Amino acid sequence: MAARDAALMEAAQDLEAAFLSEMLQSAGLVKTSESFGGGAGEEQFGSFLVQEQAKYIVKGGGIGLAQSLFEALKEQSNDH
């Protein structure tokens, strides 16, 4: 049971990180400042940076979305 809960929480945290990554990108956090010379490479790797930042936000407590998702997933899995 504990292993299943851990897997559900990991999935919920991954979903929250993906959501936050999209929100950060929409907020313009990925826009290049040309501090590394600009170009397509900087834009591509900038998205990786935002993904990692989103993961750290989740690890630091996030916005509570992971916990809500976890509870919903756990409830759904208990119904089956």
Res 64 pLDDT > 80: yes
Residue with tokens 């809500």: 68
CA distances from 44 to 22, 33, 41 (A): 14, 13, 5
Tens of pLDDT, residues 22-60 = 999 888 766 655 555 667 777 677 788 889 999 999 999
Q: Report whether 62 contacts 20 (CB < 8 A).
A: yes
Place of tokens 């940076």: 49
Confidence (pLDDT) at 67 = 94
Report pLDDT for 60: 94
Q: For residue 2, is pLDDT > 60?
A: yes
Sequence ranges of the domains in the chain: 2-79
Tokens standing for 64? 């509570």
7's CB contacts (< 8 A; 6+ apart) are: none
